[in-house]
């Protein structure tokens, strides 16, 4: 039996189809995971804080302390949050903005507080069966990203220091397109919103941050800067 003829470039040029093998470089991901780690100074700040904080005003005061320390330490913006058991005031977790130290744009205070709370209780649903009702305490209305993160977290109450335009006006951060009826949307899903708790304390932190911005001392990490 005659051996099949080897195709040549001439054959291909005249209409024959030859299978040409190309050695391709396999895809290798530059990264396959990321984590958010709270800064070490939080342990020092919490050293004199009781596990149970009975009032929402006192819980928000702790949030303001965390937010102010956070931007001064260079971790991220002047934002902090905590998750507590609503009935007892027991603090389950705290969170701060870690965008600058993590290099990940989603490292917001609500995300770190909710995520560490979920790890602490062992469930992605903070409103799951057998768990006490939990609340998120945060030093302003959530941004566009954290709006969804809070809604899907399982908390039953959200306590905010404020919700108006002051945050963006003072800090120069872009909070994204949050709908006007944002609070009603939470309420319709069984998440009670408590407004204007220790509002002036939040504004004081924002004003101090703005002074540093104007002096060129901090990085306002709004996206689309290039």
Return d(Cα 129, Cα 208) in angstroms, integer: 42
Q: Check residue 6 and give its pLDDT.
A: 54
According to CATH, the superfamily of the domain at 41-214 is Cytidine Deaminase, domain 2 (3.40.140.10)
Q: Which of 28-32, 82-86, 147-151, 221-225 comes out lowest in average pLDDT?
A: 221-225
Q: Check residue 4 and give its pLDDT.
A: 56
pLDDT at 10 over 90: no
> What one-character DSSP code corresponds to residue 211?
H
Return d(Cα 107, Cα 23) in angstroms, integer: 40
Q: Where is pLDDT greater, at 10 or 201?
A: 201
| pLDDT tens-place string over residues 203-215 | 999 999 999 999 9
Q: Which of 205, 200, 206 is nearest to 168 (CA)?
A: 206
CA angle 171, 53, 90 (to 5 degrees): 105
- 133, 86 in Cβ contact below 8 A? yes
| pLDDT tens-place string over residues 172-199 | 999 999 999 999 999 999 999 999 999 9
- Map out the domains of the chain as residue ranges: 41-214
Which residues, at least 6 apart from 32, have a Cβ–Cβ distance to it below 8 Å?
none
Return d(Cα 139, Cα 161) in angstroms, integer: 5
């Amino acid at each position: 039996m005659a051996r099949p003829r080897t195709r040549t470039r001439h054959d291909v040029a005249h209409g024959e189809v030859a299978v040409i093998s190309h050695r391709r470089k396999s895809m290798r991901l530059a990264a396959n995971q990321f984590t958010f780690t709270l800064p070490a100074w939080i342990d020092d700040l919490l050293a004199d804080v009781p596990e149970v904080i009975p009032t929402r005003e006192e819980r928000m005061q702790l949030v303001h302390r965390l937010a102010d320390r956070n931007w001064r330490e260079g971790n991220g913006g002047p934002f902090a949050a905590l998750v507590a058991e609503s009935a007892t005031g027991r603090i389950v977790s705290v969170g701060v903005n870690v965008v600058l130290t993590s290099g990940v744009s989603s490292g917001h205070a609500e995300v770190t507080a909710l995520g560490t709370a979920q790890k602490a209780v062992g469930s992605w649903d903070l409103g799951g069966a057998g768990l006490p009702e939990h609340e998120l305490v945060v030093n302003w209305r959530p941004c566009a990203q954290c709006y969804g993160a809070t809604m899907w977290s399982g908390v039953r109450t959200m306590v905010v220091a404020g919700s108006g335009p002051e945050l963006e006006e003072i800090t120069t951060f872009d909070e994204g397109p949050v709908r006007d009826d944002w609070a009603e949307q939470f309420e319709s899903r069984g998440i009670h919103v408590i407004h204007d708790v220790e509002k002036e304390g939040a504004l004081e932190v924002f004003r101090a941050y703005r002074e540093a911005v104007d002096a060129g001392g901090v990085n306002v990490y709004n996206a689309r800067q290039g």
